[in-house]
Amino acid sequence: MLYPMQRSYEGEYVEAGGVLKQNFVSALSLAHPPDSMQEQRRGRGGVEGVLFACALLRKQLRTTIATGYVEQCTTVSVFWNVPSRNCFRQHIDIPLKKFGIQFNEKQEFYGNRVNTFYEKNFGLYPYYADTSDPGSAVNGGLPQRVDLAAHLRKAQKDIESAIPNSGFGGLAILDFEAWRPLWAMNWGSKRIYKSESVKFVRQRYPQLSNKAARQMATKEFNKAAFNFMVETIRLGIRLRPYARWGFYGFPYCNYDAGKKGEYECNEYFKQYNDKLALMLKETSVLFPSIYLSSESETGRNFRYIQAIIRETKRISAKFNPKKPALAYTKMAYNPYKKPYWFYHKRDICNSVKQCSDLGLQGIIVWSTSQGMNWTRCQYIANYVNDHYGPYVEIVSKHAEKCAQKRCLGRGQCVLEPQMQCSSYNQQAEYKCECDPLFFGRHCERHRNFPWLYDSKWPQRYGGK
């Protein structure tokens, strides 16, 4: 996962793009000790001393994970964002730990691993409670009418309340969905944000033509929406700098992707995402949504998810270093109306395995708190134990084993996009996507210090 600065196991900081200067200095001091110690360290002066210092530094680099901006990502992480605390309180064991699924203590919705902030309970998010009623505005209704300073003050309290630990290093997601931060994308039920924006301009500039009022409304909305999103996530990063912050559901993709046999989002959505890149630059992680609503068209489900993953990786590649991504997924197709209609095994493959195969860093399992009674808890526990959990464990172990063996633990095994989901692929089919400071077919070389990770490094100096 990306960090602007990574804390080492010893508590020191490893700076982006290299290592702390004192690491190398301390290693050299060991290689060139005072005269009184020279006899105890024969053969460690001159070139030998420098080689020994480099060996010590190399060992220290490995110990402190000095890989620049990232923790070495070798497997797919799975987070539980299901509000199942009622299950925990009723002593119904959902076997998450058994299968390596990360979850908050006592399965609370806010906790030590993952926190999702919903628009209606966070800050002073502006929206219309009823999109057919202009009189239902909350907090001004429009981003250009909200008091941004007051919103940030309230948001700070909400963040500090939900995440009291300033050293929190888990996931922090802002789930803002009432309106989209680009004027052009507010269609359908979201058109009220366009019409009310034009009305807001008309109230102040009644002399403007319809075209001019619409142009001004577009600029005002886009600017205010951008500022609202960016200032909010900047606040989160400032308050909880070790957390992985991002927006739910970005990048966007058309809902009918895959319907006609295609494996990519359409060009309109790609253009929208390109325009949103400046906003996404502020995040530390991308959190696309790959929710499925039906099992009737498994082939389409596979293509739909692949389209979103491809678009996510395309947007991720715009940044240096690339942004990691964890996809939001579900276990049940429609948890509101059919809470026991769980994903078929094919769709577990389409979502869990495909995310891992195509190089995402993990998934976040979501569901609603609605109807979280004893019966539903029991069904979820059984499904996780018998189907979902074992599959997640297999995928995670395969990814870890492949990364360690094929990518030397310095990258992630990635498969070329497939036509359908296969339950198993040979390691030889995968290529390595290396951590930012490594390169090579098997991530065997370090960009800044190639001599530290040279496979021909003499064994006596700590090399491979």
Q: Out of 27-36, 40-49, 364-373, give the one with best mean pLDDT.
A: 364-373
363: nearest Cα among 70, 79, 72, 2: 79
Q: Are strands 430-434 and 411-415 parallel, antiparallel or unpaired?
A: antiparallel
Q: Which of 30-39, 262-271, 366-375, 429-438 has the lowest mean pLDDT?
A: 30-39
As a whole-number percent, the residues of the chain with pLDDT over 90 amount to 74
List, for residues 10-21, the tens digit of each pLDDT value.
232 233 333 333
Give CA–CA dist 345/56, Å, rounded: 48
344: nearest Cα among 296, 389, 290: 296
DSSP code of residue 428:
G
Residue 181: pLDDT over 90? yes
Residue 187: pLDDT over 50? yes
Q: What is the pLDDT of residue 454?
A: 54
List, for residues 277-287, the tens digit of each pLDDT value.
999 999 999 99
Q: Which of 139-143, 210-214, 438-442 has the lowest mean pLDDT?
A: 438-442
Q: What is the pLDDT of residue 391?
A: 96
Mean pLDDT on 192-200? 98
Select the CATH number that applies to the domain covering 77-410 from these four: 3.20.20.70, 3.40.50.460, 3.40.50.620, 2.60.290.11. 3.20.20.70
Mean pLDDT on 356-383? 95
Give CA–CA dist 279/92, Å, rounded: 41
pLDDT band at 448 (very low <50, low <70, confident <90, very high): confident
pLDDT band at 128 (very low <50, low <70, confident <90, very high): very high
Of 211 and 424, more confident: 211
Query: 397: which 2 tokens?
Result: 């172990």
Q: Which of 49-63, 267-281, 433-447 has the lowest mean pLDDT?
A: 49-63
Strands (E), 176-217: none
pLDDT band at 130 (very low <50, low <70, confident <90, very high): very high
pLDDT band at 426 (very low <50, low <70, confident <90, very high): confident
Residue 36: pLDDT over 90? no
SS3 of the chain: helix, strand, coil, percent, to 5:
45, 15, 40
Q: What is the pLDDT of residue 198?
A: 98
Residue 125 vs residues 93, 189, 358, 400, 427: alpha-carbon distances, Å: 36, 18, 35, 40, 47
Strand, coil or helix: what is 22? helix
Torsion region of 73: left, alpha or beta (phi above 0 gives left; psi -120 to 50 gives alpha): beta
Please, what is the average pLDDT of the chain?
Answer: 85
DSSP code of residue 142:
S
Provide the residue ranges of all domains of the chain, joining segments of one domain with +.
6-67+448-461, 77-410
315-341: b (≥16 Cβ within 10 Å) or e = bbeeeebbbbbbbbbbbbbebeeebee
Strand partners, 358: none
pLDDT band at 73 (very low <50, low <70, confident <90, very high): low
Helix (H) or strand (E) holding 308: helix 298-316
Helix (H) or strand (E) holding 205: none
Give CA–CA dist 65/344, Å, rounded: 39
Q: What is the 3-state secondary structure (H, E, C) of 336-358?
A: CCEEEEECCHHHHHHHHHHHHHC
Give CA–CA dist 159/151, Å, rounded: 12
Mean pLDDT on 121-127? 98
Residue 455: pLDDT over 90? no
